[in-house]
Structure 1
Amino acid sequence: MFVLPEIDKSHGAVPQPGSIVFARVTKVMARTASADIVCVDSKSVREKFTGIIRQQDVRATEIDKVDMHLSFRPGDIIRALVLSLGDARAYYLSTAKNELGVVSAESAAGGTMVPISWTEMQCPLTGQVEPRKVAKVEA
């Protein structure tokens, strides 16, 4: 008789619908952005999980005006909500709340960018302003 092995819970966190995750953006396309999930509810993951942010899940308003390339760049660290398990390859993520979006970004000059509004971040080294879907920082 075959017995299923007990699942070892020490394999790190696994994203679930409703979880808040941190992820590194890997690719930005016209209608979606891909990201590697690195933390789930402040616990690090041990295996690779991929998330997809669809154009309609970037923000809550003016969904038809969302430009993915103006919201995210590869390398950005984002805070996102897991919407669903998505397809076999990736979880569907959303940044459609004020506290969700880009939390850390690096400028072309190599500086860590500073949020100056909910749609822009600025390089402290060059003063260059770049568009992003910025996460509102809890005060």
Structure 2
Amino acid sequence: MAPPARYCVPGERLCSTEEATAGSGTYTRHGFIFSSLAGCLEKRSEDSGLPVVSVVRDAESQLLPDVGAVVTCKVCSINSRFAKVHILYVGSTPLKSTFRGTIRREDIRATEKDKVEVYKSFRPGDIVLAKVISLGDAQSNYLLSTAENELGVVVARSEAGVQMVPISWCEMQCPRTHTKDFRKVARVQPQFLQT
């Protein structure tokens, strides 16, 4: 069975020019080959020695998060400065492959940005609605914001494993244990609710 095709995004570093030759859908810079489009990585062996690296678009092209798009993501890890997330949906369209995103502390809320604490806004495993504010590249992630009222945590689980219920814009409660946790709660608009 063939290994699954590696999916590349524009600007992603593929390999060194000593390992391969640049083919279609790629470009070279500073001794490395980069992807110039979104698609699947292909390596072809050539008689001349070095394999040729190309990036080929899917027949049905992959939807990419774009600046201004509302995305649904899952929180993977948090620290005092930002939350790392995996982007799962753009609007209501599921992505074929996950993209990494970062929600910085200063992009969590629109007001009192200096008082925001990441661990009082998100926890690993939370499902969050966010807006793309900057495109990433292969080395960094998409920059996301939850500064609008409609953005923030939409699904969170308590330590008891129960889905929590929002009780204010900054708190959610476990219906089983009645414990409260801080979150940056989204005021979800009907068009973003998945049925």
Matched, 1:63 2:113: yes
Query: With CA pairs under 8 Å and 6+ residues apart, which has the higher RCO, 1 or 2?
Result: 1
Q: 1:37, CA displacement in angstroms?
A: 0.4
TM-score calculated relative to the size of structure 2: 0.67
* CA distance in 1: counterparts of 2:89 and 2:188, whole angstroms: 18
> CA separation of 1:10/1:99 partners in 2, compared to 1, >3 Å: closer, same or farther?
same
Partner of 1:54: 104
Matched, 1:83 2:83: no
* CA distance in 1: counterparts of 2:143 and 2:109, whole angstroms: 14
* CA distance in 2: counterparts of 1:9 and 1:132, whole angstroms: 41
Matched, 1:35 2:85: yes
> CA separation of 1:125/1:48 partners in 2, compared to 1, >3 Å: closer, same or farther?
same
Identity of aligned residues (%): 49
Q: Structure 1 runs of 4+ off > 2 angstroms? A: 2-13, 86-89
Q: 1:100, CA displacement in angstroms?
A: 0.1
Q: 1:47, CA displacement in angstroms?
A: 1.2
Contact 1:23 1:37 in 2 (8 A): yes
Unaligned stretches of 5+ in structure 1? none
CA RMSD of aligned residues (A): 1.7
- Tell which structure's C-alpha radius of gyration is larger: 2
Matched, 1:92 2:139: no
Partner of 1:110: 161
Contact 1:71 1:131 in 2 (8 A): yes
